[in-house]
Amino acid sequence: MISLETILTFLAASALVTVAPGPDNLMVLSVGVSRGRSAGMGFGLGCAIGCFTHTLWATLGIGAVVLASESAFTFLKMIGAAYLVYIGVMAWRHAGAMALTRLDSSKREPVGAQVRRGFVANAINPKVALFFIAFLPQFVDPARGLVWAQMLLLGVLFAIQTVVIFGSLGWFAGSIGARLQRQPKLAVWLDRCAGTIFIGLALHLATVRR
């Protein structure tokens, strides 16, 4: 359906886009450092699933229809910004909680919670939707068959490489965070820094334009 050369080019471009500094990277790194390897990798997995969701919207044409409306775009970005603020505020309110529960696994937050947060943070971000609407069609060749099937395949490939890269970021960030978390006072500030990053990203999202 899609030539091997096109797939390799797409994967190379996708990897460059994924590793480039951006909101998702910052969130994965901040969660990994402040909450540990599992949390960072879980948040990264959630972001990857969110990316695939945007692929579905782009494939079905829903994303283009929704984002063509100024009011819909504004609504989505404000919901996304509010959610990021919520995560940031929670990080401030429970600063240092990770360090206090290191020895009690029964009190540790389930990884699934971070997966959900990563998914929601990515899925309701209209900037990500705009990216996929503009990015995927560049690697689609109508002469090779069903356009929607090609876009879906590209979306799956993008999600897979995102899982690998974000998972690696979360793992390494968690390794660093595990050492820093041994100092309770420093752990508090790590959580507060993570919360500040989320709130800063929320303010940035709230002010973007199409």
**Could you read off the pLDDT of 91-148 as tens digits, one per residue?**
787 776 655 554 445 556 788 999 999 999 998 888 888 888 888 888 988 888 788 8
What is the tally of structural domains in the chain?
1
Residue 17 belongs to a domain? no
Residue 3 belongs to a domain? no
Residue 198 belongs to a domain? yes
Residue 163 belongs to a domain? yes
For residue 186, give its domain range: 31-101+110-207
pLDDT value for 111: 87
Cα of first residue to Cα of last residue in the chain, in angstroms, is 33
Instruction: Decide: 157 and 11 in contact? Cβ < 8 Å.
Output: yes
Closest CA to 84 of 43, 41, 140: 43
pLDDT (mean) for 57-86: 79
pLDDT value for 96: 65
Alpha-carbon distance of 17 to 154, in angstroms, equals 14
Output the pTM of the full model: 0.80
Question: pLDDT higher for 161 or 111?
Answer: 161
Residue 12 belongs to a domain? no
Residue 114 belongs to a domain? yes
The type of residue at 54 is: H
Alpha-carbon distance of 153 to 150, in angstroms, equals 5
